[in-house]
Every structure is written in structure tokens, then in C-alpha cells.
Structure 1
């Protein structure tokens, strides 16, 4: 197993560091099956499950990446209730949340699409029409630049699909795309999806009796609406990641990062890999998760800091984590490094009013990040 330093240094570059959270500080319950996304200010964690008491978590938490503090954004009666293995997408200052399952899994599924305001914590269901997807969990979403949302895959608990639904976010009308051909991926759930301006990419996934390999990935072209199967290149010494399920991925520019997961062979993984989406080259990173994890989440900030939260820590799925780890994937800009150093050295500076900070010469884009982290109740 890997190890993680528990002291929060300024710049843990290419090594995972556990972020120390004081015991008295409010924080999310240990969980698995949640989702996380990130912007320049924070990591947002939605939903999840814990086996003790079969707890479901219809809530959203914000982790302030400067203060390194948790804050509950919202958990209300109008939040989604099927919150295990939902699909989550960051959309400006809101989260889009599709589907998910409750307890018992497969019998309490959802096909609702909710919009959760990250400033106010308020949630509302969008009244979508058209070819509405079936109630399912373990699907993934990707946005296109022309204002459409693509939903792929998932399961009802008994049946798995490889459907693609396209939602026009302006009209809120779904269309089921009848794309076929030999390159269409096989049905799956709990795959990971990333995207660029032209395509979305499906990485891994599983069914009841199948774990998909990583020697190929599938790409869906937004314009042609056709699938392409892309052959990847193995790492020189380490080959491809082993087939697995319930891994996590995050994307920074052209690089996709993959960690953890488990397999039918009763193996849990603590490895971390990268895939270059242009060259399709896999590389195994010289870093390991502090503990092997599955059903965890990963998110990366625009500045290049990767955050890993929660997940199952035992094969039986009885133990879950509430720890947050971070790792810088690249050297941040000089402005980012100066801001980190300044806020670490003078933490009381964060309590100064925004106008005073700006008057001191702090760039407005940095001041606005602090403002975003204090608006929600």
C-alpha cells in the first residue's frame, strides 16, 4: 500500500497527501458511491451511501481548497433521494444531478434531473420531456458546446444498457440517439466519462459478470453522433491498467487520471495512472493511494490539484473513508503559488473584507474565489 503525509505542505507535487481535518470541524460522513466535481474555489461532493444503517446522503458538501475546510451547502426535502451512483456535472454555479439509486439498490432508482444551486443550496427538478431515459444508476453525463447534455449507459440493477440520450438544455427535451455500428460500446455502468470540445470518452465500466479492459476506449463524436473504438498504447514497463470496476477518473487538459477500483478476483487497487487523450498513451504514475479504494471520487481544479475523497476500504464494502487526499499534477502558475504561500502564512488574511483584499493588490479573480466560498448558507 502507499502512504500519505498527514501534514499539509504548500505543494505536494506528484505525491498524495492526506489533508488533516480537525476532529471538531464539521465534515461529510464516511461514504461511497458519491460523486465529486471541482472549480477554482472548491471541491463539491454529492450524495453517497454508508452500509451501517443503510444511510443515504441527499446532501452537497463544499471543501474550500484554500481554507481546507468543509461546509454543508444543503440537504433539504426537495433534494434527490436516490443518491447512490448518481451522475453529476458542474454547470456554472450549479450541479446537474441525474438518476441514482436508493435502498434497496435497483428497486429505488430515479430518472429525475435536478439542478442544485451551489450558492444557495436550493434544488429543483427540471421538467424534462421527450424520450426520457429509464430509471437507472451508474450512468455518466457530458456537455457539448452547443448547449446539449449527453447521458450514456447505466443499469436498472438487472439490465445494463449502452443508450445515448441527448438533452437540449434550453428546451429540456430528451432525444434518444439510435447510433449503432460495430464501434458502439457494450452495455455497462459505473464507467467513467470525460470530454473535450468534440467528443466524450468512455473509460472502463462493468456489468454483473464483465469488467471492461483499458487497452481500448470508446469515443462519441458530438457532431457526427458516431462511435469510434480507440486503441490505446501500453506503458513501456507496466502495460495497461488491470481490468477493474468502481474506479475513479478526473481530467486535466488532455490528461485523464485513473485510480483505485476492485475486481471480481477479490483484488483492490491502489495504483494511479494517466492516459493522454491525444496520443492514447497510458502511463503508470510513481505514486499509490494511501489505501486501496473503490467507489471513491476524484476531482481536479483548473490549477491542477487533484482531490480524492471517500470510498470503500475493504473488499466486503463494510468500511468507508471520510478522508480527503490531494496531489498537484503539475507546477501551478506563479500567481497560484504566491496565493497559496500568502494564505498559509497569514490565514487571518482570509477574514479581511474583499474590498480590502483587492486594495492590498490581491487580483480580483482570487478575491472572487473567496466570495464564492462564503455565499452559500
Structure 2
């Protein structure tokens, strides 16, 4: 099913015309009702091939569902981009390149990876990151309508990378990260409405899983739907001197103006993932999250003899994925199985975002391996440009398919979210690492790309229930 089978004035363009569809009579009298429920793919597909009112309803329903996965701070801009005349122009551009680079022009953030990005009020807000030995603490706002960057001159946290930024209400909350000397545990809030201003919430907080203060980089942090004061934190790594450790702990962090930061005590059910960092944690709606991949300090051994007589290898990242649920103060884990033409590969440092109901898009990232026995102490890293679409098939099973697109270049440590750039709506990717294993270099990038949802011929994406 194509994403947009017919242009529609459903989002406010009353003068737009809708091409006449075939006039095959409908045999299903309740088709309109099922189309307007936004949840029946068969009804949408059928409606798009029959008379004009049904084609219009189908197109409107698809747009409505697409807006459901656009971050709230960009929905108004996405609605304007989805007007019929703008959709047509964006489709033509989308066909030219699946991941299309955006010509930013003018000022832009310096090269970086390990940064963070949130969507709020018509803009993407980028903070921090790393480029080589340099760590950043600047804040930039990308205007999705004008496609222009603006440096936000505001003093705040110390430079860092591999931190998290989570939108809570009208503020971006930054937790932890690393600064080259070790892991951080401080919490900061950046007010995004009215006066843009940083406020330090705390220097650190006590973990509910150990007697040590919480500190980490490469962790994940997502907001709990229906609550504007709770962040779910999982995993991450820390180091003291040259001693590194990863964790599979969960923290439910409550942040309020009155009490500051408090880690909530919670119960746990099910087997959690292995200790990982630089994984992804994607909200699936409600109290559900998909935790996938990540690097680990406890490598797995390849099950096959490798060509060339080199023996076996160690893989320092995982292909395992789990569903995380937060139900009335209880953390519930369930490991997921993958079926489909492409198994979910081991990777870390990737980016993931929800692009439809129970559908997650994973792009880029890297792998870390070591041949036994010669380079166990110095594993090799390699970034990748492949992308995958993960779709739920039943309670604990998912289907994994290689996406029709590849990123413009291999990279990890980038950000990706469903967003708007001009009149294109799709997965927006910024920055990332340009890793040179021979030089052990960690250089950043400053480019932006978008995979448009408006292309009518994009392989696996044409079947998304948007």
C-alpha cells in the first residue's frame, strides 16, 4: 500500500482537487467507518482504489496516522507539509534519493557525534557531542520550516557526549554523559519556552540498584507516556581510571520543581538484557519500549570457524532485543525473537525511531570485533550504513527486514527522529561519527539527511501502516 494514494484536502486545503478514482461500486457497506477508524489496513487499501470520497478518506486516514508518530512539537509543521500541493512536490524530491542530503547552508553546528536532539515547537534542538578530542556544550536550534540553524547563546552544562536529552513538558532534561575523564551523573533542565535558560537540577542522585551514586554514558532515557515528570533510564557504561563497566539497571527518575530528582524504588519481573551501552530504547506507545542492540564489555564468541584459518572471533555488541514495560511501578522484561528475510544484526551506536504502530526504523551504528588471539586487547570497530525495519507480528515476535534505503555514509553516534524538513516528512538524521579504525580517530560529521515518507516507491516503507 502506498503511503499516500490520493491527495486530500483533509488537513485544511479546501480548494484542492482530488483526482477521480475508479467508480467500482462498494460491496462493503461499512468501509467508510473502518477507514475512519485509522486502524484497518485492508480497508485503507481498498478505499484508495474506488470512488473519490473513499480515496479522500483513505488519504486523510493515512495522514492522520502519520501525524501520530511525528513528535508533538513538530505536528503543526508536519500538517502544513502534508497539504496536497506540498505533498506532490515532496514526492518528486523523495524519488530522487531515498536518504537525501539536506543543503543546510549558512551557520550550522560544528562536526559532532554522541550529541542529543529533541523536537519542540517547530524546531530540532541539538546539544553537546564530540569531535575528536574536543567535547561540546553548545545548543543549536534547527528551524524545520526555513531549514536554518541558529546558535542559542546560553551557558549551561560542561561539555559532554553520549548523554541523553528527554523532552518533559516545555523543557529538555539532560542526564549524565562522558567528558573524556569519566562518566557524569548530573541532571540539567533547559527551558525551551519563553526565555531559553539552563538550570542545574542536581549534581547527582543515588541509584536504586547499588550503593554507588548513578553515573553513566551511552545509556538511554525516555519519557513515560502520560507523565511529565518521570524518565526511564536504562543501561550505560562508566569508568574509574581504566576500569570500565556496563550495567543493565533501570532507574525511574522523577524530576519535579519541588523535590528535584528522586530515583523511584520499583519491582522487576523477567530476565533483563545483558549489560549494554550505546543501545537504543524506542517508545512504542503507552508503557511499552523496545530496547535493541548495544555494545558490551562481555563479548560473545562466534559459533562458526572463520575463513582464512584465523579461528574464531569475539563480538562486542549484541543482536538481542527486549520489550520493556513499566506497569504500576513494576519493570517488566520480555526477550523478543526475530523472523523475516534479514536477522537483526549485532550493532551498537545506532539510532532508532518509531515510524508506525509497532514498527521501528533502525539506521546506522557500528560493530566491534576481535580476532582470537591476536587483537583481543584492541578490538576493531567498523561503522555501517545499513537500515532495518522491525515490525511486531505477535506478542513477543517481530519481523526484521532490511530497509530499501541505506544511509549516505556509514556512521554511528548520530541522532534520528521522525520530523519535518521544509515540506518533507520522514526520518531526519543529523551528525554522527566518521570513524577511521587505522588511525583510531573519532571525528564527527555536520551533515543532515532525511528519508522521506512521501516517496510512493520505497520498497519496504511502502507497506508501513502510517
Q: TM-score range by the shorter chain?
A: 0.7 to 0.9
Where does residue 152 of structure 1 map in the other structure? 234
Where does residue 432 of structure 2 map in the other structure? 311
Counterpart among 282, 286, 290 of residue 404 in structure 2? 286
For the residue of structure 2 that corresponds to 1:292, the secondary structure is: coil
Alpha carbons of structure 1 residues 261 and 84: separation in structure 2 relative to 1, 3 Å: same
Task: Tell me how far apart the structure 2 counterparts of residues 95 and 44 of structure 1 sit (CA, whole Å).
Answer: 9
The superposition leaves residues 307-359 of structure 1 with CA deviations (integer Å, 9 ceiling, x where unpaired) of 11111123434432110001223579xxxxxxxxxxxxxxxxxxxxxxxxxxx
Confirm whether residue 18 of structure 1 aligns to residue 101 of structure 2: yes
Contact 2:353 2:362 in 1 (8 A): yes
Where does residue 452 of structure 2 map in the other structure? 328
Residue 234 (structure 1) shift: 2.5
Residue 258 (structure 1) shift: 0.8
List alignment gaps of at least 5 residues for structure 2.
1-88, 208-212, 300-315, 370-380, 457-466
Task: Tell me how far apart the structure 1 counterparts of residues 204 and 429 of structure 2 sit (CA, whole Å).
Answer: 35
Alpha carbons of structure 1 residues 179 and 159: separation in structure 2 relative to 1, 3 Å: farther
Counterpart among 180, 190, 196 of residue 121 in structure 1? 196
Residue 241 (structure 1) shift: 2.8
Where does residue 55 of structure 1 map in the other structure? 134
Task: Tell me how far apart the structure 1 counterparts of residues 204 and 447 of structure 2 sit (CA, whole Å).
Answer: 40
RMSD: 2.6
The superposition leaves residues 117-150 of structure 1 with CA deviations (integer Å, 9 ceiling, x where unpaired) of 2243310011488635522211111222244222
Mean Cα displacement is larger for which, 116-125 or 255-264?
116-125
Contact 1:58 1:75 in 2 (8 A): no
Task: Tell me how far apart the structure 1 counterparts of residues 124 and 388 of structure 2 sit (CA, whole Å).
Answer: 21
Alignment of 1:163-202 (within 5 A): 163-170=249-256, 171-175=259-263, 177=265, 179-180=267-268, 182-195=270-283, 196-202=285-291
For the residue of structure 2 that corresponds to 1:281, the secondary structure is: strand
Task: Tell me how far apart the structure 1 counterparts of residues 203 and 252 of structure 2 sit (CA, whole Å).
Answer: 12
How many residue pairs get matched? Answer: 313
Confirm whether residue 296 of structure 1 aligns to residue 414 of structure 2: yes
For the residue of structure 1 that corresponds to 2:245, the secondary structure is: coil
Where does residue 216 of structure 2 map in the other structure? 136
List alignment gaps of at least 5 residues for structure 1.
1-8, 333-377
Residue 161 (structure 1) shift: 1.2
Confirm whether residue 276 of structure 1 aligns to residue 381 of structure 2: no
For the residue of structure 2 that corresponds to 1:257, the secondary structure is: strand
Counterpart among 349, 362, 366 of residue 246 in structure 1? 349
Alpha carbons of structure 1 residues 162 and 117: separation in structure 2 relative to 1, 3 Å: same
Alpha carbons of structure 1 residues 202 and 82: separation in structure 2 relative to 1, 3 Å: farther
Task: Tell me how far apart the structure 2 counterparts of residues 314 and 129 of structure 1 sit (CA, whole Å).
Answer: 32
The superposition leaves residues 60-79 of structure 1 with CA deviations (integer Å, 9 ceiling, x where unpaired) of 11111111111112341xx1
The superposition leaves residues 32-64 of structure 1 with CA deviations (integer Å, 9 ceiling, x where unpaired) of 11112224612221110111xx21110111111
Alpha carbons of structure 1 residues 128 and 143: separation in structure 2 relative to 1, 3 Å: farther
The superposition leaves residues 248-271 of structure 1 with CA deviations (integer Å, 9 ceiling, x where unpaired) of 112234322111111124432111
Task: Tell me how far apart the structure 1 counterparts of residues 196 and 392 of structure 2 sit (CA, whole Å).
Answer: 35
More strand per residue: 1 or 2?
2
Task: Tell me how far apart the structure 1 counterparts of residues 108 and 128 of structure 2 sit (CA, whole Å).
Answer: 14
Q: Give 1 or 2 for the bigger CA radius of gyration.
A: 2
| TM-score of the aligned structures, taking structure 1 as reference length | 0.75
Residue 116 (structure 1) shift: 0.6
Residue 103 (structure 1) shift: 2.2
Alignment of 1:60-139 (within 5 A): 60-76=139-155, 79-104=156-181, 106=182, 109-119=183-193, 120-127=195-202, 131-132=206-207, 133-139=213-219
Task: Tell me how far apart the structure 1 counterparts of residues 264 and 246 of structure 2 sit (CA, whole Å).
Answer: 16
Task: Tell me how far apart the structure 2 counterparts of residues 176 and 153 of structure 1 sit (CA, whole Å).
Answer: 16
| TM-score of the aligned structures, taking structure 2 as reference length | 0.62
Contact 1:276 1:282 in 2 (8 A): yes
